[in-house]
Amino acid sequence: MHVLEGQIVRLDLSNGKSVYEDFKQYYKMFLGGRGVNQYILLNENPIGNSCFDPSNLLVIGAGLLCGTDAPGASRISIDSRNPFTEGIGSANAGGDFGYAMKKSGLTNIVVKGRAEELSYIVIDDGCARIVKSPELRFKTVSETNKLIKESEGEDFEVLCIGPAGENIVYSACVIVSGSRSASRCGQGAIFGSKNLKAIAVRGTKTIDVVDRDGFDKAKESCIEALYEDEFNRRRMKYGVYCYMEPWGVESPYHNFSGEVPPEALKEKLMPDEFYKFKVGNKTCKGCPIGCWAIHEVIDKEGDLTVEAIQGNTIHNFGAKLGISEPKKVLKAHYLCNEYGLDEDVTSNVIAWAIDCYQKGLINNKITDGQKLVWGDGDLINNIIEQIAYRKGEFGDLLSEGCLRASKKIGRGSEALCVNVNGNDLFE
């Protein structure tokens, strides 16, 4: 199969039908991935319907070079409407799903409709089917991956939502390959609105290029340049969070207060402090760097294996919320991955709530009896769970982002909500 070949599969969850079309009509306009996704959405998605309406389209696209061994060619784009803004929504992730998807013969997956009961899609070398899966209801991401692989085969790559997506939490994301987060724009909530828990794909086709010798020379040149770069060498050691320091002068400290975080907080969150818990690396298909760090921490609930922390993780839970203990920062990231939550938005709405509480705009009645303070890792991790399951009035309040929450609370709380058109801001 040539790198420019492939098919687009269109699945209707409402009636279980699938149809295929040739990718060739698209690649000359858009190389692949997000470009094709957005073209389909802008030309075909119904205007005026809610993003949670069954007619709303959900499109997954693999990058053009996925399936080859080009360095870094592993990413997928997940596109639909954005629950926060009702405009364009797009999320992106690495992992191994895009590689398997292209080797199955597919370039894009288009989903519409809503399944009668919770289901997942199986794509085996391009052949798609829909599997009813009520047993996956409210399973975490790791549980979902385990059960699907036991049922379909260990060689399947899985992307899925956690409980947050099923509960239509607006900050729900899609987790790829167990821990790679396709965050921003609430795409996990779109999955949940369609009763779609996961997509599992397996591919065995060979992806060919026109000039193999030329391709291999270019690939080796890229790899050599990557190895020679000092920043990449740090990534190989530490993982994605490899910066010389966690932040500069500017940071989202205490809900974008404008204050400079204390030097003592910065010292506690340096990469070397997290390196103490690092036990290994993974790599996305085709990537020579291996920045997919694996950490292990001992928690009161048992040992936690924490994968793929980002620079965002430190900004979100360290600066924005003031958690100074690496263990609790790692647990916050772990919980967001397990529940399928975008940690940028989740940390933002929690920061808004703490800021409101500290300024007297909300009280213990609204927080379900919880005293909100900066830097309390146990409290923050409890709130993450409340958001994922919409637990209590407080969890439900925070589950749709700070703008909607502030409109319900009023009392000037809107001024503390940092957002762009309703989408909580990371930076």
Q: What's the average model confidence in pLDDT over 331-341?
A: 97
Give mean pLDDT, residues 35-52.
Answer: 93
Instruction: Assign 347 a pLDDT band (cuts: 50, 70, 90).
Output: very high
Biggest CA–CA distance in the chain, Å, is 68
pLDDT digit string, tens, across residues 19-33: 999 988 887 788 778
Cα 406 to chain centroid distance, Å, stands at 25
Query: Measured between alpha carbons, how far is 137 from 198 in angstroms, rounded to an integer?
Result: 11
Domain residue spans of the chain: 7-202, 226-427
For domain 226-427, the question of CATH label 1.10.569.10 is answered with yes
Token pair for 247? 């932040």
Please, which residues have CB within 8 angstroms of residue 3's CB and are 6 or more apart in sequence? Answer: 64, 65, 67, 68, 207, 208, 209
CATH number of the domain at 7-202, please? 3.60.9.10
- What per-residue confidence (pLDDT) applies to 335? 97
387 to 171, 214, 341, 363: CA distances (angstroms): 9, 51, 9, 18
Q: Are 333 and 306 in contact (CB under 8 A)?
A: yes
Structure tokens at 268: 């506690």
Lowest mean pLDDT among 83-87, 206-210, 363-367, 400-404: 206-210
Amino acid at 90: S
Residue 108: beta bridge partners? 8, 61
User: What integer best gives the mean pLDDT of the chain?
Assistant: 94
Distance in angstroms (rounded) separating the CA atoms of residues 322 and 255:
10
Sign of the torsion formed by the C-alpha atoms of 24, 29, 32 and 38: negative
Distance, CA of 214 to chain centre: 35
The confidence band for 250, taking pLDDT boundaries of 50, 70 and 90, is confident
Query: Of 57, 61, 95, whose CA–CA distance to 76 is shortest?
Result: 61
How many other C-beta atoms are found inside a 10 Å radius of the C-beta of residue 329? 28
Is the CA virtual torsion 212, 213, 214, 216 positive or negative? positive
